[in-house]
């Protein structure tokens, strides 16, 4: 396995079988199946409107690429026998590796991968030409529309089998204005007959091939399958879609997508506590700051009790045990080590799990010395290690009013509470792109 970078993303490349099927491969169908249905997903665009070096279909939402989420909508629908995906030829190996990493073997068995074309129309045609000959109904679905429901898929299948061709769509809810080239309103359009087209767009395979053949002879370029069917004078019905069935096209759409996936609840809270005994002959380190004092904290590492409490909170939020499990005090590698280095390792775990720290609140319980002069530097140290702005890290100090072991000056303790959130999707700087299909 090797690692490559693409648009600021690290992508694993491994030697794996190529996902492909013969165009005329037979499909085993049970006697209970009424219609042999397949899906074509055009995903060969470069995402010019997303302003990203990485094509939008490969951008991750909560650790899962958009295209994988889209494909899974159909692979988990029993009525679908085959899913054909048209990919950018130059990224096919990377994309196939991505699919292997996220899909189960039985799901991969239903998948066909083909090279996409210069336009959406070319990519869909490449997918159609790769489908098994037994296919009766085809759904075409945008690769960057990952929230289509099973109900919409089944509704389109049923209507396509019955009426010949159908698209998912929703009635236009906003007032629509017709605007002149000088950007002034010429009239208000009656929206009562207007519907916003979505995908899937489904049709009997023979009708869709007829529409593509007709468009090819005329040199007609449509914006979707319905426009090709209309051009061939084939009636197209409408099936009710959903406001949630969004297409991710622009950066703002990623915010909506993050919100839709967060509906399932993914934030995690962790609490940490640690205490260390004060002793002579040691530096007092708190939050990575060396504090002048006659005593230091006893421990295998630098005994930074503040950072240890934070580490325990972070590990707890991830369900990863405690600091002793990951950095045992009988391991010589951690003898006198800076606890900020241990925090660095924990942050790597958080990033690997596709989370980020929302905020942390840390309380140090200490009778002596006074910590107020050092809290800002502690805050900066911790924020830097956690890849955050200092405002996201709150550190405060209190005493026990001379009570208990802390009040007697025998030790220092710390509590920490943290919030982990799904890592936000990062958009790379704008890059060169030529098409969006």
Please write the tens of the pLDDT for every residue from 359-416: 999 999 999 999 999 999 999 999 999 988 898 999 999 999 999 999 999 999 999 9
In a shared domain, residues 258 and 278:
no
**What is the rounded distance in angstroms from the CA atom of residue 132 to the CA atom of residue 134?**
5
In a shared domain, residues 151 and 171:
yes
In a shared domain, residues 278 and 131:
no
- Span 15-37, average pLDDT: 49
- Does the pLDDT of residue 423 top 70, yes or no? no
In a shared domain, residues 127 and 238:
yes
Residues of the chain with pLDDT > 70: what percent?
A: 85
What's the Cα-to-Cα distance from 123 to each of 12, 43, 140, 157, 386, rounded to whole Å? 26, 8, 11, 21, 43
Contacts of 111 by beta carbon, 8 Å cutoff, 6+ apart:
19, 71, 75, 82, 83, 84, 85, 99, 103
Report the Cα 63 to chain-centroid distance in Å: 4
pLDDT band at 322 (very low <50, low <70, confident <90, very high): very high
- Does the pLDDT of residue 48 top 70, yes or no? no
Residue-level pLDDT at 258: 74
Query: Which has the closest alpha carbon to 20: 157, 156, 127, 117?
Result: 127
- Does the pLDDT of residue 62 top 80, yes or no? no
Owner of token pair 């209507």:
159
In a shared domain, residues 174 and 255:
yes
- CATH value at residue 337: 3.30.1330.50
- Span 142-168, average pLDDT: 94
Residue-level pLDDT at 46: 65
pLDDT band at 167 (very low <50, low <70, confident <90, very high): very high
In a shared domain, residues 171 and 314:
no
- Does the pLDDT of residue 305 top 70, yes or no? yes
- Does the pLDDT of residue 427 top 90, yes or no? no
What average pLDDT does the chain have? 85
Residue-level pLDDT at 91: 87
Residue-level pLDDT at 353: 80
- The answer, as to whether pTM is greater than 0.85, is no
**What is the rounded distance in angstroms from the CA atom of residue 226 to the CA atom of residue 142?**
13
Does 293 map to a domain? yes
Dihedral angle, C-alpha 18, 21, 22, 25, nearest 10 °: 160
Q: Which domain holds residue 63?
A: 2-180+188-262
> How many structural domains is the chain composed of?
2
H or E stretch including 414?
A: strand 411-422
Does 431 map to a domain? no
- Span 276-295, average pLDDT: 95
The residue among 262, 288, 309 that closes a domain is: 262
- Span 223-246, average pLDDT: 95
């Amino acid at each position: 396995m090797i690692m490559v970078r693409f648009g600021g993303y690290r992508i694993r490349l491994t030697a794996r079988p190529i996902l492909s099927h013969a165009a005329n491969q037979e499909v085993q169908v049970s006697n209970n199946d009424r219609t042999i249905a397949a899906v074509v997903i055009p995903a060969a665009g470069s995402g010019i409107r997303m302003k990203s070096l990485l094509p939008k279909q490969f951008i991750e939402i909560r650790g899962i690429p958009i295209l994988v989420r889209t494909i899974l909508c159909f692979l988990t629908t029993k009525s679908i026998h085959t899913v054909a995906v048209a990919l950018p030829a130059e990224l096919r190996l990377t994309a196939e590796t991505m699919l292997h990493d996220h899909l189960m073997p039985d799901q991969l068995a239903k998948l066909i991968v083909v090279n996409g074309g210069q336009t959406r129309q070319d990519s869909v045609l490449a997918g159609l030409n790769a489908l098994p000959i037994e296919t009766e109904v085809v759904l075409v679905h945008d690769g960057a529309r990952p929230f289509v429901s099973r109900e919409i898929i089944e509704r389109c299948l049923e209507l396509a089998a019955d009426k010949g061709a159908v698209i998912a769509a929703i009635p236009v809810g906003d007032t629509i204005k017709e605007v002149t080239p000088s950007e002034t309103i010429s009239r208000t359009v009656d929206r009562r007959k207007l519907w916003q087209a979505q995908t899937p767009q489904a049709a009997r395979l023979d009708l869709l091939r007829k529409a593509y053949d007709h468009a090819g002879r005329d040199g007609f370029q449509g914006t979707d399958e319905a426009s090709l069917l209309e051009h061939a004078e084939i009636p197209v019905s409408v099936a009710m879609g959903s406001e949630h069935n969004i297409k991710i096209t622009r950066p703002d759409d990623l915010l909506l997508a993050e919100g839709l996936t967060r509906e399932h609840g993914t934030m995690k809270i962790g609490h940490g506590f640690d205490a260390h005994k004060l002793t002579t002959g040691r530096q007092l380190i708190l939050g990575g700051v060396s504090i002048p004092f006659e005593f230091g904290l006893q421990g295998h590492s630098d005994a930074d009790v503040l950072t240890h409490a934070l580490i325990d909170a972070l590990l707890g939020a991830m369900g990863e045990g405690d600091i002793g499990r990951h950095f045992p005090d009988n391991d010589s590698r951690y003898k006198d080590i800076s606890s900020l280095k241990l925090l660095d390792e924990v942050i790597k775990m958080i990033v690997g799990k596709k989370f980020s720290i929302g905020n942390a609140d840390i309380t140090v319980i200490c009778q002596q010395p006074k910590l107020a002069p050092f809290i800002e530097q502690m805050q900066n140290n911790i924020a830097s290690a956690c890849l955050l702005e200092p405002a996201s890290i709150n550190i405060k100090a209190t005493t026990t009013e001379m009570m208990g072991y802390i009040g007697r000056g025998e030790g220092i303790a710390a509590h920490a509470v943290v919030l982990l959130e799904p890592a936000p999707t990062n958009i790379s700087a704008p890059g060169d792109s030529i098409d969006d299909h």
